[in-house]
Amino acid sequence: MKKALKIIKTTLVWLVILLAVSMMIFTVISVTTFNRNDRDLFGFKIYIVNSDSMAATDFSAGDLIFVKETDPKTLKAGDIITFMSQDTDSFGEIITHKIRKLTTDAEGNAGFITYGTTTDTDDETIVTYPYVLGKYQNNIPKLGKFFNFLKTTPGYFVCIFVPFMLIIIYEGVKFFNLFRRYRSEQMADMQAEREKIEEERAANAKMLEELQALKAQLEGDRTSAPSDNETDISTSEEKAEDD
């Protein structure tokens, strides 16, 4: 059970790390690449749709669309193109609409009449070749909303800051537990060393007592036993009395 819980905990931690890192990478990519006419990713320009002007047929607001740079001369009626709008109410904005037909402007420049399929109303200005950014290829529904959320303050806190803080807190608790275990083991080793020293000290004291007792016993035996001279004198006196 402990092993299974450890595996689950480790898996969850790595998933959080992967999520946080992925969100950070996605944020960087979205800020530096999406809705940028001078940037592309793997040959595609990526835009986040801001209106439902094409919702009736192809994509809606919040979708992520992929646009590939194309020679305007190869485009035809029915193609969907992304272009820099020259209309009065949307001047300079990036628009993705469908080509209704090929035409020329007042100065004889080749271009396209475009329209949004939702309203089926032609755009105000003819889109000439210099303003064409590319041809629409595909889309991922609603992913653009997610990337827009990532770029907001709440999105940053929810998708990046909070996961990284959870990882930092987890690693901090893990480090504290390891440090506490290390200190506990260190104190246990120190206590065992003290006990060993006390045991050795007690054994040495006991040995010293035994040596002192043995020394005292030897000195007592030496005091009680008669010397050789005293034994000889006693023997001589006994012989003299007999004579």
- What CATH number is given to the structural domain containing 43? 2.10.109.10
State the pLDDT at residue 222.
73
Which residues pair with residue 111 across a beta bridge? 103, 128
Q: Where are the beta strands (DSSP E) in 44-108?
A: 44-48, 64-68, 80-84, 94-104
Asked if the structure places residue 30 within a domain, the reply is no
Asked if the structure places residue 197 within a domain, the reply is no
Asked if the structure places residue 120 within a domain, the reply is yes
Asked if the structure places residue 116 within a domain, the reply is yes
d(CA 99, CA 115): 7
> pTM for this structure?
0.63
Asked if the structure places residue 131 within a domain, the reply is yes
pLDDT tens per residue, range 73-90: 999 999 999 999 999 888
Asked if the structure places residue 220 within a domain, the reply is no
pLDDT tens per residue, range 110-169: 999 999 999 999 999 999 999 999 999 999 999 999 888 888 888 888 888 888 888 888
Asked if the structure places residue 12 within a domain, the reply is no
Asked if the structure places residue 149 within a domain, the reply is no
Q: How far is CA 79 from each of CA 29, 102, 131, 163, rounded to the nearest angstrom? A: 28, 11, 15, 43
User: How many structural domains comprise the chain?
Assistant: 1
With b for 16 or more beta-carbon neighbours within 10 A and e for fewer, the 80-116 pattern comes to bbbbbbbeeeeeeebbbbbbeeeeeeeeeeebbbbbb
Choose from 15-19, 20-24, 105-109, 147-151 the range with maximum mean pLDDT: 105-109
Residue 77, domain extent? 39-144
